[in-house]
Amino acid sequence: MNKDDFLYPRSRYYGQVKPENMVFNANLQEFAQRISIICSLETSGKISPEEAYDQVKVLWKQLKRAKKQLQIGENPFGGEEEG
């Protein structure tokens, strides 16, 4: 097993297979990994609660920007798809 695969595991994507969904899923998994690390650092006293909050806030803004750029959750045609 690769060291990076062990330290940063990725789950298989089961959602609707579209490039933008898969990219966002990768971003979301990285966000979750980094949040976990920040929580561990704060819990162990390595960083302050304020620093942890600031880092989480930055990561959240990055994830939110990625969602907007990938147009996740937006329907460009304005209506629901019909079967």
| HSE-up of residue 8 (Cα within 13 Å, Cβ side) | 12
Q: Is residue 26 part of a domain?
A: yes
The count of structural domains within the chain is 1
Q: Is residue 65 part of a domain?
A: yes
| Mean pLDDT computed over every residue of the chain | 87
pLDDT of 12 reads 82
Q: Is residue 50 part of a domain?
A: yes
Give pTM, 2 decimals.
0.77
pLDDT band at 82 (very low <50, low <70, confident <90, very high): very low
For residues 22-50, average pLDDT: 96
Q: Is residue 83 part of a domain?
A: no
